[in-house]
Amino acid sequence: MTGTAQPLAGIKVVEFSTMITASLATMMFAQQGADVIKVEPPGIGDPMRWLGSQKAGISGLFHNCNQAKRSITLDLKSPDDVATARQLCLQADVVIHNYRPGVMDRLGLGSDALRADKPDLIYCAITGFGHEGPLSKRPAYDHVMQAMSGFMTLQGHPEGFAYVKTLICDKLTAYTAAQAITAALFHRERTGSGQHIDLSMLESCIAFLWPDAGMHLALQGDDVAHGAPFADYYQLPLRSKDGAIAYAAMTDAHWDAVFDVVGRPDLKTEERFRGMANRSIHMGELASIIASEQPDLTSAEMVALLAEQDVPAAPCLSLEDLPGDQQVLAMEIFEQTDHPLLGSVRHVTPPARFGGAKRTGGGPSPGLGEHGEAIRAELAAASQR
């Protein structure tokens, strides 16, 4: 297999951020070979360091979003430290931040100011609500964005609103930012020109939801035949003796296999469930019927029976189940490493296999300001060249 395991080697990224959106995006770059310098305020640093399970001043959440980076502490209320931050930015390929609109401009670290001196710089500004409209100056956090973007209405809660119990808006914004910056790097490789990227959480979340959740709103007019929204049936698992499984029946043969497994062969001849068009219209009702059955079978037995007819299916696993699952083990998704501050740490290896090769996480998450002295020395050396 060919290809490089570090496609972003030689790229320098400077990150000004708190919490997840920018941190997760830049960690992906670090794991792909980029030198990522995380600028943190003195004192507590990124508040994410202190959220949830933690040890030695590093939380599990912080570690999972900041592996393979270097950390420097800079007080952006200090003119000298702002000058250092500017030096860092002017030596970088990418600058990214998730501060509110106007903050970086007031510091002299905005896109226009930096790119005037370094036209090939790629500058990514992540905001909650963009730069226009009545909410543009408002702070944004994941659960607030779940409410604003429509996520909370799609969870099937009897009261109509429920959170997705993971920081989905933060993370999908991070992936959107990573893709946009990578595209800008490609553009620069072709043209030599940098790029300013504005990216809002609200737009990222709506764009993420729209392909499936917004399909009934995409087609306009009175002649649209509306099927059941995915949210009405997609999250109904099939119960087993020891848990539950998820299944994705897509064809007539798939559904016949599901009907047999749940002991309802009579459903094969129900006109409203025969053929894709009929099932689509009545899918909510059909999925509820299937979910109400509980065959005298284990999850493994049900999955095996469905696999005989090539029906996609899998047991419903908990996070605690994952490290011991045979498929997860075969793919080497987790690795155990020794962190200089945290001791033994389990983390997920990067999912993209460049050249087909499995890569490690690339390095530990940094202690607060751990690399400040080395980074300042690099700046001093660069200024003398």
Strands 94-97 and 12-16: parallel
Which residue matches tokens 């910056």? 181
Write the DSSP assignment of 306-365 as a string of letters. Answer: HHHTT--EEE---GGGGGG-HHHHHTT-EEEEEETTTEEEEEEPPS--GGG------SPP
- Domain annotation for the chain: domains and CATH numbers: 12-210+357-383 (3.40.50.10540), 238-315 (3.30.1540.10)
Q: What is the residue-level pLDDT of the chain in tens, covering all 385 positions?
A: 444 568 999 999 999 999 999 999 999 999 999 999 999 999 989 999 998 888 887 899 999 999 999 999 999 999 999 999 999 999 999 999 999 999 999 999 999 999 999 999 999 999 999 888 898 888 888 989 888 888 888 877 777 788 889 999 999 999 999 999 999 999 999 999 999 999 999 999 999 998 888 877 788 888 777 766 666 656 578 899 999 999 988 889 999 999 999 999 999 888 888 888 888 788 888 888 888 888 999 999 999 999 999 999 999 999 999 999 999 899 898 888 888 888 888 889 888 888 787 777 778 899 999 999 999 999 988 887 7
Q: What is the pTM of this model?
A: 0.89
E strands within the chain? 12-16, 35-40, 54-55, 58-59, 70-73, 94-97, 122-127, 195-200, 238-240, 243-247, 313-315, 334-339, 343-348
* Three-state secondary-structure class, residue 140: coil
d(CA 281, CA 274): 11
Which residues lie below 8 Å from residue 341, measured CB to CB, with a gap of 6+? 55, 56, 57, 58, 364, 367
**In the numeric block, which tokens belong to residue 229?**
């929204």
